[in-house]
Amino acid sequence: MSKALTSSLLGMDLGEFSVLVSEAGEPAYRAKQIMEAVYRHRVESVDEIATLPQVFRERLEHTGVTLGAARIEKKFGSVDGTVRYLITFADGQSVETVWMPEGDGGEAGDGSEAGETAERLADIPGPGTSGAKAEESEPIAALKRCATQNLRSQDRHSQEHASSGRSTICISSQVGCAVDCQFCLTALLGVKRNLTAGEIVGQVCAVLKDQRVSPPEDRINLVFMGMGEPFLNYENFVTIRPKLAISLNASNDALRTRLMPLNKKWNLDMLIAAAREFPLRTREWITFEYVLLGGVNDAPENAREVAELLRGMRCKVNLIALNPGPGIDFTTPSAERVTAFQNILRGAGTPAFVRRPRGRDIYAACGQLKRTVEAATSPEPQVQSISRVQQ
């Protein structure tokens, strides 16, 4: 049996669907039928692919092909419109995925503030240690293409979304995380496993379906800033073809090592040197994410050090005031400190944008929802460190 025939349909591209169809002895056009069913209609099981003959559907299921759909287990809505999902996969593992209508208040991917202008469709940024904005992978592109054809049947709810600006889906790349950032609740979960490409795309499908929106008419920005470090799940992450963003979070090595122990292995000199060598396309910028922790890394001197580190680089900085949570020994800085930090960067010629906090009333800190649910449903200790990145 080929690799394709042992995988879930979600996450496959047209080439893989073609292999699957060919190995089953079915005509080539069946590949496009599967593509449309998975990414346009977002069916939730192989049996729901009504365009395929029943006998072919049964054969697929007997050979181990599943849709791989993600299931929304819990859902919390914030007064600010943010919705936090706990999404469960076939093996029972779950991750957090967040819907933020009208963006997250940060940059829009083209250097503008979110919501400032009409931007390109479906930019897809990245993660904790490495945020990122992705060009469309084949599965993501398929979602957009198929959705385009679906637009005429969209209802008014969806039309309203279409006119309300770009929304953001914050997706996870791993169950838990091994990076051990000291200000992050997900770090306290440890890492359990990587998500497959299908599970990554499955989060997007589940949220789009629940929110009843469809790119490209509904402008969607995807960010890998949920649970996990995408670059530690490289093979599945690159399926999304990300643009680079880097979590900086500190202005010098001593501070960064304290906040992100991974800095002992790859210090700031190495990180900045690599960033300076990163090949950028026209109009592309490197994004640095900087979580501001009150009284820790938010001083004017820190801002000046950051400006010096990034001097001359085609980059921008997203400033994120900490989302506090139980078990995290840091505080949120004042709005004045955040603004002062931003102004110093801008004064030094580095574009800096402040992401507005979202959903603080709904277990907003990454990892808090999963930890809370696990604590409520499991007799076992809620914090289990399965493994840690080797320092």
Provide DSSP, 25-92: T--THHHHHHHIIIIIS--SSGGG-TTS-HHHHHHHHHTT-B----EEEEEEE-TTS-EEEEEE-TTS
> Encoding tokens for residue 210?
């629940």
Q: Nearer Cβ to ligand SF4, position 184 or 223?
A: 184
- Least distance between ligand SF4 and beta carbon 287 (Å): 15
- Least distance between ligand SF4 and beta carbon 234 (Å): 14
- Tokens 């592109």 locate to 141
- Least distance between ligand SF4 and beta carbon 373 (Å): 17
Q: Contact, 231 vs 173, CB < 8 A?
A: no
- Least distance between ligand SF4 and beta carbon 191 (Å): 8
Site for ligand SF4 in 311-370 (CB under 6 A): 366
H-type alpha helices, the chain: 14-23, 29-35, 54-62, 138-150, 156-162, 197-211, 234-237, 253-259, 268-277, 300-310, 335-347, 368-377
Q: Nearer Cβ to ligand SF4, position 223 or 227?
A: 227
From 64-72, 176-184, 352-360, 377-385, give the range in contact with ligand SF4 by CB under 6 A. 176-184
Catalytic residue among 16, 26, 36, 96: 96
Cα–Cα distances in angstroms (integers) from residue 23 to residues 10, 56, 67, 132, 152, in the given order: 18, 12, 18, 36, 35
Cα–Cα distance measured from residue 39 to residue 369, given in angstroms and rounded to the nearest whole number: 28
- Least distance between ligand SF4 and beta carbon 312 (Å): 27
- Least distance between ligand SF4 and beta carbon 148 (Å): 33
Amino acid identity of residue 96, one-letter, is: E
3-state secondary structure of 348: coil
From 30-38, 225-233, 316-324, 334-342, give the range in contact with ligand SF4 by CB under 6 A. 225-233
Q: Nearer Cβ to ligand SF4, position 129 or 251?
A: 129
Cα–Cα distance measured from residue 374 to residue 156, given in angstroms and rounded to the nearest whole number: 37
Specify which residues 119 forms β-bridges with: none
Q: Nearer Cβ to ligand SF4, position 83 or 170?
A: 170
Site for ligand SF4 in 179-208 (CB under 6 A): 179-181, 184, 186-187
From 67-75, 226-234, 235-243, 293-301, give the range in contact with ligand SF4 by CB under 6 A. 226-234
202-207-208 Cα angle (round to 5): 95
From 105-113, 131-139, 175-183, 334-342, give the range in contact with ligand SF4 by CB under 6 A. 175-183
Position among 131, 228, 242, 351 found at the interface with ligand SF4 (CB under 6 A): 228
Q: Nearer Cβ to ligand SF4, position 342 or 368?
A: 368
- Tokens 């399926």 locate to 239
374 is annotated as an active-site residue:
no
Position among 177, 204, 275, 309 found at the interface with ligand SF4 (CB under 6 A): 177
Q: Nearer Cβ to ligand SF4, position 103 or 226?
A: 226
Site for ligand SF4 in 119-158 (CB under 6 A): 128-129
- Tokens 């800095």 locate to 263
Q: Contact, 169 vs 134, CB < 8 A?
A: no
Q: Nearer Cβ to ligand SF4, position 31 or 177?
A: 177
Residue 349: half-sphere exposure toward Cβ, Cα within 13 Å: 7
Cα–Cα distance measured from residue 68 to residue 23, given in angstroms and rounded to the nearest whole number: 20
96 is annotated as an active-site residue:
yes
For ligand SF4, the nearest residue by Cβ is 128
- Least distance between ligand SF4 and beta carbon 233 (Å): 11
Site for ligand SF4 in 275-314 (CB under 6 A): none
Residues at the site binding ligand SF4, with contacts judged by CB under 6 A: 128-129, 177, 179-181, 184, 186-187, 227-229, 366
Residues with a catalytic annotation lie at 96, 366
